[in-house]
Structure 1
Amino acid sequence: MPLNKSLAGWGLLVVLGLNLRPLLSSISPLLGEIRQATGLSFQSSALLTSLPVVCMGLVALVGVRVEARLGERRGIALGLMMILLACLARWVMGQASALLVTALLGGAGVALIQALVPAMIKREFHHRVPVAMGVYSASLMAGGGLAALLSPLVAAHFQQWQAGLGVWLLPALGALLLWAWLPLGAPRKLQAAPVFKGLRNRRAWLLALYFGLVNCGYMSLVAWLPAYYQQLGWGVLPSGSLLAFMTIFQVIAALLMPVLAQRGIDRRPLLSISLLAQTIGYLGLIIAPQAYPHVWVALCGFGLGACFALSLLLTLDHHRDPRQAGQLAAFVQAVGFLINAVSPWLTGWLREFTGSFFSAWGVLTVTAVAMLVVTRVFSPATYRTGSEVVAPGHA
């Protein structure tokens, strides 16, 4: 049953995406309670966000081998199972060491799914890749926002912060059952996987660095935005709701911008708009955080949601063959997520070193402006002349 001919396929993209960010975004609104209970410092607390992202990068590096050994069906099922077990362990254990171990376990599960989904989208939605990427990206963002909004409520209901983290085993269980029931996803391929040829290619590395830097603000905001506003006097629920509000605009951008991208082949104008929105949002958090907080958060969310979807779409544009496009996307995500992993850690370090988050938002502003300049390099003429990513040695 082809995905692009079935509502089940679109629904599956949504369900998979919803499970890929609660592991990260459920931490931030409850960080004060977690730190008080476990004794974690700001910098150590950042590892709860950084470690899953490191796993996303490292597992994506071996994404080709994972696909060859397991296939999409078993690989995605394994990823969902790891997320489920990580959330269950967080509910029943409250030690700092357990949180760090579950960050690794759940991060590896998220990474498995993220490494396999782009090739599936390229293959099954080949006539509507931008729209499918938008649906997947929007669902991913929505899962993060729901976790930021609902985790404090669940924790308050059960009167323990562990419940706010562990409750996300339920959507993982639902997704696992749906994945087992629906006959979707490519089986394990018996033939040897083709070797990825982009490691010595400057364009492949540029795409990877670009993906990492245009999206690194998301990890910092997920980790520290509620803590920033709690430092300014906000309560746990209002500060956590800011992440949910940001997610609304991430979802809008992740759906809208790829649909607009369907009309042409040049991704640069939409990427430039997205990076400009990020820049204004970060500046607002520095200059007038209390005056118009929802405006700045909305701009950051819109820019980040659009950049995630568009930068992945830009990567898939570089290959016509779905499997080769999937390999390139896995490499780009691997390097990109390793860069993203540094972002919340650096933000936490800057917070401890300077006593405020202003310096962190300043670094993100400079990064967005720099990537705005780099965007002009990605002319379609440099990658739409053949099936290879770009001739070696060319940018």
Structure 2
Amino acid sequence: MTEPTFRNARPVLIGLGMMLVAFNMRPALTSVGPLLDSIRAETGLTAVGAAFLTTLPVLCLGLACVLGPVVVRRTGAERGVLVAILVIALGSALRGLGGLPPLFAGACIAAVGIGLAGVLLPGLVKRDFSGQAGLMTGLYTMVLCLGAATGAGSAVPLADAFGGWTRAMAVWAVPAVAAAIAWIVFVPHREKGPPPARRRPLWHDSLAWQVTGFMGLQSSLAYITFGWLPVVLQSRGLSAVEAGFVTSIMSIGQAPSALLVPAFAARLRDQRGIAIALLILSAASFLALVDGPVALVLPFGIGLGLGIGGLFGLALTIVVLRARDAVGAADLSAMSQAVGYSIAALGPLGFGLAHDLFGGWRVSAGLFCAIALASGIFALGAGRDRKVGAPPAAE
């Protein structure tokens, strides 16, 4: 492809590349839950250890997000995305070694790559698709949800096919490597220009903190769902395959709302109402899965997927809408996800510990609803038509 042709085709190609990257940003996380009982039976992992297994990767997501602005300024977003997807592949492959140390280490390493990619993609959307921010955010969020569904739904069948959970988890290194190979084409063509103007840190910006609170708390709902929903369903009498299937359908249910909500929200001046509606849908659906009729777990799972997927797409859209430009989007994305995922990490841990302390799932479900309520409070600020930070100073 010649240079002029590449430049003309770049928006389409980089959009497709973002989809490939997005597909790999959840299977390393969602493939754990359906196999958790098998892992515990084979390794002797305790319930507390299982809670930490679902929590540590989310914490690593937050820590990795701090690197986002540094990577953008020093190497460019494209090179940063390439590094991120290779780190995801490394973490996924490491789990194939078997045993608890590679399992925990691989999960954390993959999460670092996921966190870095998650920070960089909103900046690329703001830079290359500023006029179609809602549509592009919706597209890559939808593909991300489809990746999550694939990871959850295929976990048990892959474990059966490969004779154990280790290879079933390691296989996710393959699509990550494929995405890295496809993304390489963008690295030599990174546009060079003057370094971005220095900005005031967002740590004293109240709107930035409101966006951060909403991002973190709605993410906590998602990671509780990814990590514990299969276990909850199995405790209600479903087999591992059935629980994985419902979780997969739940993840597939995220796709339409992940696509449509950002596109719709980007057309609104105020996103508060849609945030509250999605939080109510998510909480009601989760309660129904925990304590409702077992015969209706499938429609309840779809409802939960619609709520969770819409919330995630909305949170990413709000990051783009509240930023003034691509650098501001990267800074806000880094702050909201670094702090937000650190908050989100407490959700799966607290959910598991509440189950151990009180037995059953009702107290844990109450915690889920409390997190949804807190997320709604932050959404009332984050959804306003405002911009974070001051505009960059003129040179």
TM-score higher than 0.5 here?
Answer: yes
How far residue 189 of structure 1 moved from its aligned partner, in angstroms, is 6.8
The answer for the alignment partner of 2:261 in structure 1 is 257
The amino acid that maps onto 2:237 is G
Q: 1:34 aligns with which of 20, 24, 39?
A: 39
Q: 1: CA distance between counterparts of 2:211 and 2:268?
A: 20
CA contact (8 A) 1:321 1:387 kept: no
How far residue 46 of structure 1 moved from its aligned partner, in angstroms, is 2.4
In the superposition, relative to structure 1, how do residues 289 and 184 fare at CA in structure 2: closer, same or farther (>3 Å)? Answer: farther
SS of 1:314's equivalent in the other structure is helix
SS of 1:86's equivalent in the other structure is helix
**Residues 5-154 of structure 1 mapped to structure 2, 5 A cutoff:** 6-91=11-96, 93-154=97-158
How far residue 284 of structure 1 moved from its aligned partner, in angstroms, is 1.1
Once the two structures are overlaid, the 10-residue window that deviates more, 47-56 or 203-212, is 47-56
Q: 1: CA distance between counterparts of 2:268 and 2:334?
A: 24
In the superposition, relative to structure 1, how do residues 125 and 4 fare at CA in structure 2: closer, same or farther (>3 Å)? Answer: farther
Q: 1:364 aligns with which of 364, 368, 377?
A: 368
How far residue 13 of structure 1 moved from its aligned partner, in angstroms, is 1.9
Q: 2: CA distance between counterparts of 1:379 and 1:119?
A: 19
Q: Which runs of 5+ in 2 are unaligned?
A: 1-5
1:200-242 Cα offsets, whole Å, 9 max, x none, are 1222112111111122111011111111111122111110111
In the superposition, relative to structure 1, how do residues 121 and 329 fare at CA in structure 2: closer, same or farther (>3 Å)? Answer: same
Q: 1: CA distance between counterparts of 2:375 and 2:111?
A: 27
The answer for the alignment partner of 1:377 in structure 2 is 381
How far residue 323 of structure 1 moved from its aligned partner, in angstroms, is 0.7
In the superposition, relative to structure 1, how do residues 225 and 328 fare at CA in structure 2: closer, same or farther (>3 Å)? Answer: same
The answer for the alignment partner of 1:393 in structure 2 is none
**Residues 195-274 of structure 1 mapped to structure 2, 5 A cutoff:** 195-274=199-278
In the superposition, relative to structure 1, how do residues 184 and 368 fare at CA in structure 2: closer, same or farther (>3 Å)? Answer: farther
How far residue 368 of structure 1 moved from its aligned partner, in angstroms, is 1.7
In the superposition, relative to structure 1, how do residues 44 and 2 fare at CA in structure 2: closer, same or farther (>3 Å)? Answer: farther
CA contact (8 A) 1:4 1:10 kept: no
Q: 1:170 aligns with which of 168, 171, 174?
A: 174
Give the TM-score normalised by the residue count of structure 1. Answer: 0.91
Q: 1: CA distance between counterparts of 2:8 and 2:318?
A: 22
Q: Which runs of 5+ in 1 are unaligned?
A: 390-395
Once the two structures are overlaid, the 10-residue window that deviates more, 259-268 or 151-160, is 259-268
Answering whether residue 318 of structure 2 is matched by residue 318 of structure 1, we say no
After superposition, the CA RMSD in angstroms is: 2.2
How far residue 275 of structure 1 moved from its aligned partner, in angstroms, is 1.1
Aligned length: 386
In the superposition, relative to structure 1, how do residues 105 and 370 fare at CA in structure 2: closer, same or farther (>3 Å)? Answer: closer
Give the TM-score normalised by the residue count of structure 2. Answer: 0.91
Q: 2:185 aligns with which of 181, 187, 194?
A: 181
How far residue 373 of structure 1 moved from its aligned partner, in angstroms, is 4.4
